[in-house]
Structure 1
Amino acid sequence: MADPGRDAARDPGRAPEPDARPADGTAHHDGEPAPVEYRTAELAEAAGITVRTLRFYRERKLLPPPRREGRVAWYNEHHLARLRTISVLLARGHTLGGIADLIDAFEKGRDSGSAAELLGLESTLASPWSEETPVRLTPEDLAAHFPDEVTSDNLATALDLGYIAVDGDEVVHVSRRLLDASTALVREGIPLAAVLEAGRVVREHADAVADLFTRLVRDRLFAGVDELSPADLRRLTEIMDRLRSPAKQVVDAELALAMDRRLRAELESWPRAHVDSETERDSGRGAGTAPEASGAESGTESGTGTDAASADA
Structure 2
Amino acid sequence: MASIQKRGSSYRARITREGKSTLSATFPTKAEALAWASEIQAKIRLGIYHDESELRPIQESDFEEAANHYIQTHSIYKKSGHSEIGIIRILIKRWATLDVAEINKFHVLALRDELLSLGRAGSTINHYFNAISKIYQMLTEEWGMLVTNPIKGIKRIPNSKGRSVRVNRDIESQLLAGCQAIDTPLLASIIKFAIQTGMRRGEVMGLDWADVDIANRKAYLHKTKNGETRQVPLTLRAIEVLRALPKTEERVFPMTFDCLRSQFKRLRSYLKQGWDGYGANPFKDLRFHDFWHEALSRLSDAGLNVIELSHISGHKTLAMLKRYTHPSHEAIFLKIDKNLSL
- TM-score w.r.t. the length of structure 1 is 0.25
* Higher-RCO chain (CA-CA 8 Å, sequence separation at least 6): 2
Larger radius of gyration: 1
TM normalised by structure 2 equals 0.23
